[in-house]
Structure 1
Amino acid sequence: MEKLKKYIHDDSNGLDYVLVGDYYIPDLHLPEESCPIGRWGRMHREYLQEHCPGQYNDLLLSGKLWTYLADLDEQAQLRFDTIVSQMQEAERITEDLKCRNWLCWVQSMNSIRYRAEEIILSELVYGKELP
């Protein structure tokens, strides 16, 4: 009996195959991605996995998931910082207030941060349309 090759290449479709048992299966590899994602990107990934599995799998299999999540995370963080600074300015929460009444300053800043988080979650993390 003829010994089968461990790896073969099919010129008609350009795929490599590996011998597993008695069958040749396509030797497919996903591209390696090493984009770090932060808090917002992780939350959006969980949302996609749970509520949009088809879109999640499409991004994952096309090799664009980590880049997409890193971009979303960066956009969300920039938007969050902008919203916090705008709310601070609108509500006159300054360093002077921090020196005079630090407890009031902490309460106000916590309120601003929570409201800004809700805006980011609704606009970007849970309401973001995919490309």
Structure 2
Amino acid sequence: MTKQIYGEKNGLSYTLHGDYYLPDLELNDEEPVYGKYGIMRKQFLKEHRSAKYQYLVLTGKLTEHLNQVDKEVREKAEILMEQMAVQWGVTEELKMQDQMEWVRRMNTIKNVAEENILKNGVYK
């Protein structure tokens, strides 16, 4: 039997240990760095898309995927909040006149935008 083989389908190399071929996996010593939405995406993948999660882990692309999702979702949320603030008339003038109303509207905008983003970005 050959000591090492390469899996064409999944792109992993394997080494013979006893009677079994085990994948040659390397642990990444770096601590993964991703934000709130990356963490939420990871949990979603673990619970609802386990095949995709396992594929990303085995190919070493999980952290890259989570960082990409986190970045995209943050950018979309920021753009959506800016658009909604204009649409709902939340301006600096309102902030000067009635701070509590401005805070209420901004919190509502943030919650609506985040709910939309979670459905369309993290939990897809």
Same fold by TM (over 0.5)? Answer: yes
| Residue ranges of structure 1 left out of the alignment (5+ in a row) | 1-8
Shift in Å at residue 92 of structure 1? Answer: 1.2
Shift in Å at residue 30 of structure 1? Answer: 2.8
Partner of 2:44, secondary structure, is: helix
Query: Which structure has the greater CA radius of gyration?
Result: 1
Partner residue, 1:4: none
Equivalent of 1:50 in 47, 50, 74: 47
Equivalent of 2:102 in 102, 105, 117: 105
| Residue ranges of structure 2 left out of the alignment (5+ in a row) | 6-12
Partner residue, 2:9: none
Kept in 2, the 8 Å contact 1:34–1:66? The answer is: no
Partner residue, 1:86: 83
Partner residue, 1:30: 26
Equivalent of 1:95 in 92, 95, 101: 92
Q: Percent identity?
A: 29
TM-score by length of 2: 0.80
The Cα RMSD (Å) is 2.2
TM-score by length of 1: 0.76
Partner residue, 2:10: none
Shift in Å at residue 15 of structure 1? Answer: 5.3
Partner of 2:90, secondary structure, is: coil
